[in-house]
Structure 1
């Protein structure tokens, strides 16, 4: 076989391998995205969140749609899906490219944002109001989203799981406040091992 033929075969093989690599990369990226909201799935979020927690300015946020079961029962699952997609889009926009947002499952979302200027409290208060706005395509659906958050710097020795439990505890408390936003306390962690306070229900 001539040198030219061998070179051509090698070039075609390399091109085919490159196409295959790009295809596999896209398939893998798609598999790591939640199909409804486009946010990262739990596993993909966890990997990126742990990387971001190396930054002392990181803030962990947990968000939960209030009365979501009631929305589904009253307006139908299509309206519920629209609400989840809108919540995800608004959360991702607030987090920005420097952070990460993911859907943990159901109506629960998590995010890690980088708060370099110390304005997380104000940003999340604004976000809470934005998340409560009706969706244009489902104007009859009225609900809110409770947010719990914790600063990485407040608990430098804790990992993502513990910080999420603290944010979960704060979120549970936020459901009982008018603002629906609560920062985690600095004291000991009261949440259960699974990150759920006793008596908490997803429909709250």
Structure 2
């Protein structure tokens, strides 16, 4: 026997209307949740994307991990900006050309990773520019930065057996000195400190004056890679 659905009176009609509306709304809700999950997964995949040459975290992945470190360790965190000195001469002046530069970048990445340890964040921001965020107590900052400078100044052996002299400029900033755990502010101060010690082989630990240097996107105004539109390399 065929079943029959009866609707009695206005109340029954309203219930039927609400039910008919709820079905597509439920479908859209499920679709929205699914879309949100897919977008979140895509975002995580983007954040985890690594630089193909060095294997280091890209800008997004580094930023996410660095913020976790500064948020968790506060005044015991240290943010460092690192530029290789005279890198263009290595790229242009060696027989291997860009292959020589690539080798130096890869070795630098290995050294930074070894120095930072498994709990640190190391990223390649672009070109020969790197950033590191680690947990280091106040009493160990200067000796650890000196250790990093010495490590990065060791010659690099190229694939053809030739040794290349390298060095790096290093600037660092700490929340207790700068007065904030904001990663952009710390990177801005570290970048200014790095520029203050450019080509000296001496790491510079930022003070409050470095935090006031004009910047674009957290980078010292006027350095390569910044422009009036606010883009940074």
TM-score for both structures, normalised by structure 1:
0.78
User: Is residue 215 of structure 2 the alignment partner of residue 196 of structure 1?
Assistant: no
Q: Which residue of the partner structure matches residue 116 of structure 2?
A: 95
Cα deviation, residue 114, structure 1: 0.2
Q: Counterparts of 1:162 and 1:77 in 2: how far apart (Å)?
A: 33
| Runs ≥4 residues deviating over 4 A | none
Higher RCO (CA-CA < 8 Å; seq separation 6+): 1
Q: Counterparts of 2:184 and 2:134 in 1: how far apart (Å)?
A: 16
Q: Is the 8 A contact 1:166 1:191 kept in 2?
A: no
Cα deviation, residue 97, structure 1: 1.4
Q: Which residue of the partner structure matches residue 180 of structure 1?
A: 202
Bigger share in helix? 2
Match of 2:132 among 85, 94, 111: 111
SS at match of 2:88: helix
User: Is residue 86 of structure 2 the alignment partner of residue 67 of structure 1?
Assistant: yes
Cα deviation, residue 29, structure 1: 8.0
Q: Whose radius of gyration is greater, 1 or 2?
A: 2
Give CA-to-partner distance per residue, 1:109-136, whole Å, 9 cap, x none. 0010101363121111111111011113
Give CA-to-partner distance per residue, 1:128-166, whole Å, 9 cap, x none. 111011113364322211100011222343511111111
Give structure 1 stretches of 5+ with no counterpart.
1-23
User: Is residue 100 of structure 2 the alignment partner of residue 79 of structure 1?
Assistant: yes
Q: Which residue of the partner structure matches residue 32 of structure 1?
A: 49
Give structure 2 stretches of 5+ with no counterpart.
1-40, 226-233
Cα deviation, residue 42, structure 1: 0.4
Q: Which residue of the partner structure matches residue 163 of structure 2?
A: 140
Q: Which residue of the partner structure matches residue 66 of structure 2?
A: 49
Cα deviation, residue 62, structure 1: 0.4
